């Protein structure tokens, strides 16, 4: 008797490995859009739960961004139920763009819905269907934006209750698996709309593969893994430095003694702790604080998010509103 298709076997193994630490009776939710990636993930989860002692369900988020979104969400819900996932929650959300862009607003609404359902059913883990290709696109976007190591490190495999088992699996492999298992999926037309940054990044990766040869996506994803290790280490050093510095005002000499790669991370932590919204603290703000240490010419305060001011006086730097 022959085994499953190689792509199916790889995806099921990735899921099995990602859930190996679960306790008996744990509940796993699959975030499923109905696309090829999340349906391949749902199929693998449904298969693995038959051989383990945890149970699985799914969450289908209807963003309401297309006229037939409710019908599509209902169809996806039926498909994952047919695979054997239960409970299946179909959640309608309101996507409110408050200036961050439609993609970011949809993502925020989606994660809020996933958290709410997970709380409601007592789920230990929520699985996301991001693939190696998604990781490569994330790194490419970070490069274009001139981001630092943390942004270039891409998406982590685990963050809180969220896990991404398929970061080592390609989009093509997901569709190969579904075809082999006879599972249908839905192609979202928004995934081909160049109005969205993510779609343009996807096309750019494909163009690079065509021009430079295969392996570009895998190389970008591998770079993310390496940079994540570096970023994790620097973040650990920054956490220790913040603890050692204590409450402000902070001595300029103490700040100057820190390596710049650590000090910029320290600034971010100090600003957020003082009340700056984390999502608004950027490089230009940490650079403004840096100048108070490294380029002091008697200048006035640095103006920062959250109505904060960083001022230098008497060899010390203070943050205040």
CATH 3.40.50.2000 fits 6-220, yes or no: no
- C-alpha 55/C-alpha 309 separation (Å) is 51
Domain spans in the chain, listed from the N-terminal domain onward: 6-220, 246-320
Structure confidence at residue 279 (pLDDT): 73
Structure confidence at residue 154 (pLDDT): 86
Task: Give the rounded percent of residues in the chain with a pLDDT score beyond 70.
Answer: 98
- Residue 218's contacts (CB-CB under 8 Å, 6 or more residues apart) are 132, 136
- Is the torsion defined by CA of 26, 27, 31, 32 positive or negative? positive
Q: Which residues are annotated as a binding site?
A: 33-38
Task: Give the rounded percent of residues in the chain with a pLDDT score beyond 90.
Answer: 64
Q: Which residues are annotated as a binding site for ATP?
A: 33-38
- C-alpha 108/C-alpha 11 separation (Å) is 27
Q: Please give the class, per CATH, of domain 246-320.
A: alpha beta
Q: Are 25 and 54 in contact (CB under 8 A)?
A: yes
- For the chain, the farthest-separated pair of C-alpha atoms sits apart, in whole angstroms, at 79
Interval 238-259 mean pLDDT: 94
Q: How far is CA 202 from CA 39, 101, 221, 223, 312, in A?
A: 20, 18, 13, 17, 45
Q: How far is CA 217 from CA 134, 135, 252, 270, in A?
A: 9, 8, 43, 36
| pLDDT tens by residue, 178-214 | 999 999 998 887 777 787 788 888 898 888 888 888 8
pTM: 0.82
């Amino acid at each position: 008797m022959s085994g499953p298709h190689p792509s199916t076997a790889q995806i099921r193994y990735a899921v099995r490995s990602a859930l190996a630490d679960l306790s008996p009776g744990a509940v796993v939710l699959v975030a499923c859009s109905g696309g090829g990636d999340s349906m391949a993930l749902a199929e693998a989860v449904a298969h693995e739960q038959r051989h383990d002692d945890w149970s699985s369900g799914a969450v289908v988020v209807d963003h309401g961004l297309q006229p037939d979104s409710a019908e599509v969400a209902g169809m996806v819900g039926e498909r994952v139920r047919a695979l054997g996932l239960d409970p299946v929650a179909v959640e309608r959300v309101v996507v409110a763009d408050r200036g961050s862009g439609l993609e970011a607003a949809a993502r925020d609404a989606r994660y809020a819905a996933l958290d709410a359902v997970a709380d409601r059913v007592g789920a230990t883990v929520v699985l996301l269907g991001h693939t190696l290709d998604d990781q490569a696109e994330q790194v490419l976007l970070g490069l274009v934006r001139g981001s630092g190591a943390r942004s270039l490190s891409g998406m982590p495999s685990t963050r809180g209750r969220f896990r991404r088992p398929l970061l080592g699996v390609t989009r093509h492999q997901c569709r190969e698996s579904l075809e082999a298992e006879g599972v249908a999926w839905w192609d979202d037309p928004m995934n081909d709309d160049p109005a969205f940054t993510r779609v343009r990044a996807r096309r750019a990766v494909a163009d690079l593969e065509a021009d430079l040869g295969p392996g570009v996506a895998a190389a970008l994803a591998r770079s993310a893994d390496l940079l994540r290790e570096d970023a994790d280490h620097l973040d650990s050093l920054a956490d220790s430095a913040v603890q050692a510095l204590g409450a402000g005002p902070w001595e300029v000499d103490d700040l100057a003694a820190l390596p710049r790669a650590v000090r910029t991370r320290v600034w971010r932590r100090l600003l957020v702790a003082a009340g700056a919204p984390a999502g608004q603290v950027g490089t230009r703000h940490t650079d403004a604080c840096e100048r108070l240490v490294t380029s002091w010419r008697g200048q006035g305060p640095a103006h920062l998010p959250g109505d904060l001011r960083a001022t230098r006086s008497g060899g010390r730097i203070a943050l205040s509103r």
